[in-house]
Structure 1
């Protein structure tokens, strides 16, 4: 026969068990609710800001169509070549992207205007002026001659000023320093501006 004391002990034990079960269920419900809200937020974020991906799943960088200028077959005039390159966020990075594309050389039958192994070390923008810093191969490996120097200078200047009209002047630097000439014929200490006269006649406006 169960005594009164035993019944009280059993009731207390039962209440504790029920209380523990309620706390467990409440915790489980809270975690489930939190997880659902987190999943909902992530789904909503992906819907509002979906990543742009190609078929392989990699996120695509924004690209833009640019006009690069290279020498014609006779190396007398500059001719345009259209190309798509990645578009960077800030202006100096966009200019650097243009210069790198120019240094890669033409994809058509046009002629490169920069000596081999020339690299861009950096770009600085000051209002409407762009300072382009090259490595030492710019002058060390340059073929010399006024025609070659003109082609190098204005392929760069026309490429930058055509694609980014807010830039009006371009300055050449080598290893961070101003250079007097690429090969001894044309003074490169001052800034250069867009030169339509360097374009092949059929491309002039």
Structure 2
């Protein structure tokens, strides 16, 4: 009967050992499987909300007029000005006419203190229609759009392909310009800007 007891003792010792081995094996397998799984991408929250801006186009071929538009929120003043002017360069959505020469592009925007430096493509000059009225409408559609939406900016300096001290046939662009709202008819209440951020306002 001694061999039977020894066999039972051996089995009693093996059972806990096998259980421990299975537990460790399971833990090691789980770690291996977890290491093979791709890490989930962190959740990035995108800025929400929108801002309402006013763009200046041409009405009746003789005066500037306002068109309101909803744009996405933006990170800083320079990028807000750039996105707003890009909408201006894209042209009107309603019955107004584009004030800018056909093919003119926005190159760059910088903000230094109370002045926005707006660099335009060479086409802005080369494709400009003749006449002082066309020049006034084109230049002040930009200046007024910037100043009406960003009250902290009181002056706009226009350059073309990086060239300053520019003089058009009828307008001197060598110095920063201030807004001229006398070039428009009285705006309707619907065209007044109303912002959900702090980058713009009403003149």
Q: Same fold (TM over 0.5)?
A: yes
TM-score (normalised: structure 2): 0.76
Q: C-alpha distance in 1, partners of 2:71/2:163?
A: 28
Contact 2:160 2:166 in 1 (8 A): no
Match of residue 190, structure 1, among 156, 159, 175? 175
Instruction: Give every structure 1 segment of 4 or more consecutive aligned residues whose post-TM-superposition deviation is greater than 2 Å.
Output: 1-12, 20-25, 59-63, 202-205
Equivalent residue, structure 2, for 1:71: 58
Number of corresponding residues: 179
1:16 aligns with 2:29: no
**What stretches of structure 1 of length at least 5 have no aligned partner?**
35-44, 52-58
Structure 2 stretches lacking a partner, 5+ long: 35-41, 189-202
Retained in 2: the 8 A contact 1:86–1:97? Answer: no
Aligned equivalents of 1:61 and 1:19: distance in 2? 53
Name the TM-score, length of structure 1 as normaliser. 0.75
Q: 2:57·2:65 contact (CA, 8 Å) conserved in 1?
A: yes
Deviation of residue 14 (structure 1)? 1.4
Specify which structure has the bigger relative contact order, considering alpha-carbon pairs within 8 angstroms and separated by 6 or more residues.
2
Mapped to 2, the partners of 1:68 and 1:177 lie a distance apart of: 25
Name which of 87, 92, 114 aligns with 1:101. 87
Partner Cα distance (1:7, 1:105) in 2: 92
Q: Secondary structure at the match of 2:109?
A: strand
Provide, for residues 24-54 of structure 1, a one-character-per-residue CA deviation record: whole Å limited to 9, x for no partner.
57x49x98xx9xxxxxxxxxx98xx9x6xxx
Kindly provide the CA deviation profile for residues 157-199 of structure 1, in whole angstroms up to 9, marking residues without a partner as x: 11111111111110111112215124x1110010011112112
> Which of 60, 66, 70 is the aligned partner of 1:84?
70
1:103 to partner: Cα distance? 0.8
Equivalent residue number for residue 142 of structure 1? 128
Partner of 1:55: none
- Secondary structure of the 2:139 match is helix
Contact 1:172–1:179 (Cα < 8 Å) also in 2 = no
* 1:175/1:15 CA distance change after superposition, 3 Å: same
